[in-house]
Amino acid sequence: MAASAQGELAAIAALRGKLVDKIDHARDLPRALRTPLKQALSAILTAHEEDRRDGDRADPQPKSLASLVQFLSHSYRSKWSPPSLALNPEGNFVAIWDLKGRRYSVEFTPGAGANWVGVAKEAEGFSRKQGHYGNLDDYEAPPFEIPAR
């Protein structure tokens, strides 16, 4: 294996460890959320490592994951069911709750809070609401109820 490939693998492993540590060391994140989040994180990092060979994906942003953990650590949100996770092409983490015809997604942008979108299937079509969390420590109710875990 070439030295550059070994270096790249070492960098990927270091980043993976740094991201998992953010979940492990989050003081206010409930233990019940840690395992599902680490499993989801592992799955999206594996997919990212495969997709990054195409060269059109940014590395996962540790500050984005830190924002996601901060968001989920809030006393109201910590009771929610665990979200699915995604990683967008810019390397930002996205938490997604799919709830029987409703989807609430929150994209965590490093240093800029989070953008949310709520989509609901209704009799006359779909409704869409969106907004921005400027301060992740403030609680603002989502566009529809998120079930408790």
Domain ranges of the chain: 3-133
Contact 102, 117 (CB under 8 A): no
The confidence score (pLDDT) of residue 41 equals: 94
CA pseudo-torsion sign 59, 39, 86, 55: positive
The confidence score (pLDDT) of residue 47 equals: 87
pLDDT average per 10 residues of sequence, the chain (149 residues):
64 81 89 92 87 78 94 92 94 95 96 94 91 93 90
CA neighbor of 95 nearest in space, from 138, 136, 50:
136
The confidence score (pLDDT) of residue 111 equals: 85
Could you tell me the strand order of the sheet in which 102-108 lies? 84-87, 93-98, 102-108, 114-122, 125-133
The confidence score (pLDDT) of residue 2 equals: 60
Dist. CA 36–CA 127, nearest whole Å: 29
